[in-house]
Structure 1
Amino acid sequence: MTDAKVVHLNKVAPEHSPNSPVGRLPVALIHVRDKAAQQLKQALQALFDNADDTLFEMADRATSNAEQNTFFEAMRDLRLKRKNIERSFLQKLFETFSALNQYEIGKSAQLDTVSFETLALIQNDELEQRVAVDSMVAKALSHDAQPLAHLTTRLNAIITKKLDEKTTPLGPEALCGAFLDACSSLGVEIKVKLIILKLFEKYVLSGLGPMYDEANQLLVAAGVLPELKSTPMRRRTAQQPGVSRAAQGEAPVMGAAPYADDEVREVFGALQELLSQVRGVAVPRRELPADALPISSHDLTRLLSHLQQRMPMQAADDIDLRRQLEQLLSRASAKSGKTRVVGEVDEDVINLVSMLFEFILDDRTLPDSLKALIGRMQIPMLKVAVLDKTFFSRGSHPARRLLNEIASAALGWGEQDDAQRDSLYQKIEQVVQRLLNDFVDDPAIFSELLAEFLAFVGDERRRSELLEQRTRDAEEGSAKAELARRQVEQALNERLLGKTLPEVVVRLLQEAWSKVLMLTCLKHGVESSEWQMALATMDDLVWSVEPHEGVEARQQLLELVPGLLKALRDGLTSAAFDPFATGDFFSQLEALHVQGLQRFKRSLVEAEVEQPVEALAEGEVAEGMAEMPLLVLPEPEPKVEAAVMVAVVEEIILSAPGETQPSEPEAVLPDDDEALLQVDNLRVGSWVEFQEDEEHKLRCKLAAVIKPTGKYVFVNRTGMKVLEKTRMGLAVEFRRGAIRLLDDALLFDRALESVIGNLRRLKNA
Structure 2
Amino acid sequence: MQTPPFVDELPSRNLDLLNQVRESILLPLADVFAAELDGVGAGLFQLADKAPPALQKDYLDAIQELRRERESLIARFRAHLAKAWQALEAGRPLSVERTLSRGNDLTLVADAELEVRLAVRNLAGAIQQQWRPELMRLDRYLGFIAGGLRLDGDSNPIGPEHLGVAVYAAVSATRLAPRAQLAAVRVCEPGMVERVGVLYEALEQQLQAIARTTELAEGRARRRAIPGLAGPGREDTPDWITRFFSQWQGGQRAAQAASAIDVHARADHELLPAELHRLLQGARDDGNAAAAGELRALSPRELASALSLLQTTAQAGFDEIERGGDLRAGLRREILAHAAMLGVGPGSARIDPADADTLDLVAMLFQAMLGESQLRADLRPVLGQLLVPVAKVALQDPRLFVRDSHPVRRLLNMLADACDGNPGETAAELALLAQVQATATRVVRDFDEHLGVFLQAESEFGAYFEQYRRRVEIAERRAAELQRAEERRLAARACAGEGVASRLDGRELPAVIEGFLRRPWARHVERIALREGVAGSSGVAAAMALADGLLAAIDASPRIAEPWLEAHRPALQRLYAEAGLSPAAAEAAAATLVDVLRGRQAADAPAPELPPEPAPPAVEPEAASLLPEEPAEQIGFDIDTAEYFQALPLGTWLDFIDRYGQVQPGKLAWVSPISGRRMFVNRRGSRFCVASPEQLAAMVRLGRLRLHRDEDAFYSAMQSVVDFLDMPAAAA
Q: How far is 1:412 from its partner?
A: 3.1
Matching residue of 2:507: 499
Matching residue of 1:271: 276
346-355 or 690-699, which moves further after superposition?
Answer: 690-699
Task: Give, in whole Å, the separation in 1 of the partners of 2:200 and 2:428.
Answer: 48
Matching residue of 1:249: 264
User: Structure 1, residues 521-567: CA drift from partner, whole Å, max 9, x if none?
Assistant: 343455455444333332332233x254xxxx333444333322112
Paired amino acid for 1:432: A
Matching residue of 2:363: 354
Give the 5 Å matches for 1:235-384. 236=256, 245-246=260-261, 249-250=264-265, 265=270, 267-276=272-281, 278=282, 281=285, 285=289, 287-288=291-292, 294-312=297-315, 316=319, 317-318=322-323, 320-333=330-343, 339=348, 341-363=350-372, 365-366=374-375, 368-384=377-393
The reply to whether residue 595 of structure 1 matches residue 599 of structure 2 is yes
The reply to whether residue 441 of structure 1 matches residue 449 of structure 2 is yes
User: Structure 1, residues 240-274: CA drift from partner, whole Å, max 9, x if none?
Assistant: xxxx955672469xxxxxxxx8xx63844443344
**Cα root mean square deviation, aligned:** 5.0
Task: Give, in whole Å, the separation in 2 of the partners of 1:569 and 1:482.
Answer: 26
> Alignment partner of 1:688: what SS?
strand
Give the 5 Å matches for 1:386-465. 386-414=395-423, 417=425, 422-465=430-473
**Bigger Rg over Cα:** 1
Give the 5 Å matches for 1:188-227. none
Paired amino acid for 1:712: R
Matching residue of 1:541: 550
Q: How far is 1:468 from its partner?
A: 1.0
Going from structure 1 to structure 2, the CA distance change for 1:719 and 1:692 (only over 3 Å counts) comes to: same
Going from structure 1 to structure 2, the CA distance change for 1:537 and 1:39 (only over 3 Å counts) comes to: closer
From 178, 190, 201, the counterpart of 1:174: 201
- Whether the 8 Å CA contact 1:540–1:564 is kept in 2: the answer is no
Matching residue of 1:569: 573
Q: How far is 1:447 from its partner?
A: 1.6
Going from structure 1 to structure 2, the CA distance change for 1:131 and 1:413 (only over 3 Å counts) comes to: farther
> Alignment partner of 1:724: what SS?
strand
- Whether the 8 Å CA contact 1:349–1:386 is kept in 2: the answer is yes
Q: How far is 1:507 from its partner?
A: 0.8
Task: Give, in whole Å, the separation in 2 of the partners of 1:452 and 1:182.
Answer: 44
The reply to whether residue 711 of structure 1 matches residue 711 of structure 2 is no
> Alignment partner of 1:689: what SS?
strand
- Whether the 8 Å CA contact 1:700–1:715 is kept in 2: the answer is yes
Paired amino acid for 2:277: Q
Task: Give, in whole Å, the separation in 1 of the partners of 2:538 and 2:153.
Answer: 53
Q: How far is 1:502 from its partner?
A: 0.7
Paired amino acid for 2:631: E
Task: Give, in whole Å, the separation in 2 of the partners of 1:128 and 1:595.
Answer: 78
- Whether the 8 Å CA contact 1:365–1:743 is kept in 2: the answer is no
Task: Give, in whole Å, the separation in 1 of the partners of 2:704 and 2:676.
Answer: 20
> Alignment partner of 2:552: what SS?
helix
Going from structure 1 to structure 2, the CA distance change for 1:680 and 1:383 (only over 3 Å counts) comes to: same
280-289 or 518-527, which moves further after superposition?
Answer: 280-289
Paired amino acid for 1:135: E
- Whether the 8 Å CA contact 1:488–1:514 is kept in 2: the answer is yes
User: Structure 1, residues 369-406: CA drift from partner, whole Å, max 9, x if none?
Assistant: 43332221111111111221222333222212222222
> Alignment partner of 1:719: what SS?
coil
Matching residue of 1:189: none
- Whether the 8 Å CA contact 2:302–2:339 is kept in 1: the answer is no
Give the 5 Å matches for 1:577-726. 582=586, 585-593=589-597, 595-596=599-600, 641-643=602-604, 666-668=631-633, 672-673=638-639, 676-677=642-643, 679-680=645-646, 682-694=648-660, 696-726=662-692
TM-score by length of 2: 0.61
Task: Give, in whole Å, the separation in 1 of the partners of 2:507 and 2:681.
Answer: 46
> Alignment partner of 2:689: what SS?
strand
The reply to whether residue 134 of structure 1 matches residue 160 of structure 2 is yes
Going from structure 1 to structure 2, the CA distance change for 1:694 and 1:266 (only over 3 Å counts) comes to: closer
Q: How far is 1:508 from its partner?
A: 0.7
Paired amino acid for 1:285: A
> Alignment partner of 2:631: what SS?
coil
- Whether the 8 Å CA contact 1:365–1:742 is kept in 2: the answer is no
User: Structure 1, residues 123-179: CA drift from partner, whole Å, max 9, x if none?
Assistant: 97424236971336779996557778xxxxxxxxxxxxxxxx76x897243356479
Give the 5 Å matches for 1:508-547. 508-524=516-532, 527=536, 529-544=538-553, 546-547=554-555
- Whether the 8 Å CA contact 1:666–1:728 is kept in 2: the answer is no
- Whether the 8 Å CA contact 1:297–1:387 is kept in 2: the answer is no
Task: Give, in whole Å, the separation in 1 of the partners of 2:718 and 2:360.
Answer: 12
Going from structure 1 to structure 2, the CA distance change for 1:486 and 1:578 (only over 3 Å counts) comes to: farther
- Which structure 1 residue ranges, 5 or more long, are not aligned? 1-35, 60-68, 76-110, 116-121, 149-164, 186-233, 253-260, 597-639, 647-654
360-369 or 727-736, which moves further after superposition?
Answer: 360-369
- Whether the 8 Å CA contact 2:364–2:721 is kept in 1: the answer is yes
The reply to whether residue 729 of structure 1 matches residue 732 of structure 2 is no
Q: How far is 1:445 from its partner?
A: 1.3
Task: Give, in whole Å, the separation in 2 of the partners of 1:592 and 1:447.
Answer: 82
- Whether the 8 Å CA contact 1:55–1:71 is kept in 2: the answer is no
From 719, 724, 728, the counterpart of 1:753: 719
- Whether the 8 Å CA contact 2:283–2:728 is kept in 1: the answer is no
> Alignment partner of 2:651: what SS?
coil
> Alignment partner of 1:171: what SS?
helix
User: Structure 1, residues 72-92: CA drift from partner, whole Å, max 9, x if none?
Assistant: 9579xxxxxxxxxxxxxxxxx
User: Structure 1, residues 106-136: CA drift from partner, whole Å, max 9, x if none?
Assistant: xxxxx989x9xxxxxx997424236971336
- Whether the 8 Å CA contact 2:670–2:678 is kept in 1: the answer is yes
Paired amino acid for 2:551: V
Going from structure 1 to structure 2, the CA distance change for 1:295 and 1:689 (only over 3 Å counts) comes to: closer
> Alignment partner of 1:126: what SS?
coil
Q: How far is 1:499 from its partner?
A: 2.7
Task: Give, in whole Å, the separation in 2 of the partners of 1:342 and 1:41.
Answer: 47
Paired amino acid for 1:327: A
Going from structure 1 to structure 2, the CA distance change for 1:470 and 1:512 (only over 3 Å counts) comes to: same
Going from structure 1 to structure 2, the CA distance change for 1:285 and 1:362 (only over 3 Å counts) comes to: farther
> Alignment partner of 2:454: what SS?
helix
TM-score by length of 1: 0.58
User: Structure 1, residues 19-65: CA drift from partner, whole Å, max 9, x if none?
Assistant: xxxxxxxxxxxxxxxxx999849969x99x999x9699989xxxxxx
Matching residue of 2:123: none
Task: Give, in whole Å, the separation in 2 of the partners of 1:674 and 1:38.
Answer: 43
Q: How far is 1:713 from its partner?
A: 1.9
Task: Give, in whole Å, the separation in 2 of the partners of 1:747 and 1:523.
Answer: 44
Paired amino acid for 1:323: R
Going from structure 1 to structure 2, the CA distance change for 1:528 and 1:757 (only over 3 Å counts) comes to: closer
Paired amino acid for 1:134: P
